[in-house]
Amino acid sequence: MKTSLKYIISGCALMVIAQESAYAIPSFARQTGLKCAACHTIFPELNDFGRSFKLHGYTTTGGRYHIGL
């Protein structure tokens, strides 16, 4: 019993120590003010809105710029 508990604790400690950092860059989320879930279902898979955003030049305006004068 003590041996199996020792293995469980060691395994949990190893999983905590061996975690890798995520290297996501939420630049589009900052650009648009939307959450990552607006474009992604499960990272890096895109949903319909995310595919449209990518196809239209990573803009919500479809690549058209509106300059108000």
Q: Within 13 Å, how many C-alpha atoms sit on residue 31's CB side?
A: 12
Q: Which tokens hold the place of 64? A: 């058209």
Locus of tokens 């004068």: 69
Q: Which tokens hold the place of 10? A: 């060691």
Tell me what pLDDT residue 4 has: 82
**pTM over 0.85, yes/no:** no
The DSSP-derived string for 8-64 is HHHHHHHHHHTPPPP---THHHHHHS--GGGTBSSTT-B-HHHHHHHHTTS-TTTT-
7-55, pLDDT tens digit by residue? 888 877 777 787 766 556 778 788 788 888 888 888 789 999 889 888 8
